[in-house]
Amino acid sequence: MNRDKILFLAFLGIFAIINIYLLATNSLPTDSTGFGTIVAAGITLSLYSFLYKDNPLFKFTENLYVGVAAAYTMNQVWYTVLLADVLNPTFNLNNQTGGTNEWLLIFPVLLGIFMLTQLASDKINWLSRIAFAFVVGLGAGLAIPRTIAANVLAQMQPSMQPITADLAGFNLFVILIGVATVLIYFFYSVEHTGAVGVASKVGIWFLMISFGASFGYTIMARLSLLIGRVGFLLETWLTLQLPLF
């Protein structure tokens, strides 16, 4: 038996002993809440076991999560979309539309079904192109003007304000230099030598600072998730009254 197998069995054994102790001392209730807490703790520890090495527990938990998430999403979509927005109004199942059936809803439903024919045989999968054409056309029509307005024009406007002799003006100046030099860095039609080379190097510095800020925030985010799980393990599973000292 190699070291990994011993560690694996030891982990399972310690986990079982801790849970038996928690249940025996009534720290965890012997009902569905207690069982749910034990399952959640086990899943959390199984996922973090990947930090040591890839292992069967991690694989099992990863696949379990995908399955549960898909089932939960299907459940939500069924009750809040398919049933509430399609079946009930189309066939007037809950009699809330004044006794009328909204037959027009059949057309978008048909488009949805056409999309699924992509998974069917070659004889009928051409129908999916109608649905995709509709989605692409609608998506482009909605996205292009909205994206230009919100993400380009509205973003350019504050960068083009008059630079004043105060802190706000200085900030604006820094942003202006950043925008101009980063744009020069990504301008590949001119060789990056001389003044253009200097400007593109300044652009690289702005990009590096931006990546650093993003990385710092990413560390904070990932740690927050770890802190959340550790808090769950200590307080909810092990039922410790924090702070201990």
Partner 1 sequence: MKDFLINLDRRIIFIFVAVGVILPALTTFPLPIKPTPNVRAVYDTIEEVAAQNGTVLISFDYGPGSMPEIQPMTLAVLRHCFSQNVKVVGMCLWPQAVGLVQQALDTTSKEFGAQYGTDYVFLGFKTGATSLVINMGRDFHGTFPQDLQGNTTTDLAVTKNISGLKDFDYVVCLAAGNTPDGVWIPYGQERYKFKFGIGCTAVMAPDQFPYLQSGQMNGLIGGLAGAAEYEKLINTAGTATDGMRPQSVVHLIIILFILLGNTIYFLYDRKKGGAK
Q: Which residues bind partner 1 (CB under 8 A)?
A: 51-52, 69, 72-73, 76-77, 80-81, 84-85, 96, 138, 142-143, 146-147, 149-151, 154-155, 157-158, 175, 210, 213-214, 217-221, 223-231, 234, 240, 242-245
**Smallest separation (angstroms) from partner 1 to the CB of 164:** 15
Residue 98 three-state SS = coil
Q: Sign of the CA dihedral 24, 28, 29, 34?
A: negative
Interatomic CA distance for residues 12 and 20, integer angstroms: 12
Decide whether 56 or 228 has the Cβ nearer to partner 1.
228
In the bound state with partner 1, the residue whose beta carbon lies nearer, of 53 and 59, is: 53
Listed in sequence order, the residues at least 6 apart from 86 whose beta carbon sits closer than 8 Å to its beta carbon are 105, 109
Q: Please, is 41 exposed, middle or buried when counting C-beta atoms within 10 Å of its C-beta (0-12, 13-18, 19+)? A: buried
Nearer to partner 1, 73 or 101 (CB): 73
Angstrom distance (rounded) from CA 161 to CA 154: 12
With beta carbons less than 8 A apart as the criterion, state whether 182 and 202 touch.
no
Output the smallest distance, CB 116 to partner 1, in A.
15
The residue (of 95 and 121) whose beta carbon lies closer to partner 1 is 95
- Minimum distance, C-beta of residue 196 to partner 1, in the bound complex (Å): 25
Nearer to partner 1, 104 or 220 (CB): 220
Cβ atoms 61, 43 nearer than 8 A: yes
The dihedral formed by the CA atoms of 155, 156, 160 and 166, expressed in degrees to the nearest 10: 20
Q: How far is the CB of 139 from partner 1 (least distance, A)?
A: 8
Q: How far is the CB of 133 from partner 1 (least distance, A)?
A: 17
